[in-house]
Amino acid sequence: MMAGVISSKAGLQYVGPELDAMKAVADAHSKRSLKLFETALRDYKAQLEEDPIVHRHLSSLYDTLLDRTCAEKKLSQMILDKKFAGTLDQGVGCLIIFEDPKQDAIYPATLETISNMGRVVDSLFVRSAKIMA
């Protein structure tokens, strides 16, 4: 949307560093990039911090972007630690939650059967050793 306003006939009369600063902030916001936002604040410090109203709104935007970044890091860590079943799709900017996998009853039952068979074989081995002796 910002690109349309800038390239319009009315927007062309305001070409300058102020407009470049707003474009950089809009770009960072549309990409949801904290790094681009911080770069815009550094590169256009004079244009973005002199006006108290703009500065207040940018502080609010910074907090919003920072909260999203912290949440993404926490979710990523939870997924890697297998505390949360899902994935972060950064291309689309969404979280995909997987359904809880149902407990497979065959695996524990198979382990118990193999364990019991091992005890039976051991018991038969001991008996056959007694008979042979």
Dihedral, CA of residue 113, residue 114, residue 115 and residue 118, to nearest 10: 120
Residue by residue, pLDDT tens for the chain (133 residues) are 555 655 666 555 667 788 888 888 888 888 878 788 889 889 988 888 888 888 888 888 888 777 777 778 888 888 888 888 888 887 777 788 888 767 778 888 899 999 999 999 999 999 988 888 7
Radius of gyration of the chain (CA): 31
pLDDT score for 5: 59
pLDDT score for 116: 94
pLDDT score for 10: 59
pLDDT score for 115: 94
pLDDT score for 98: 85
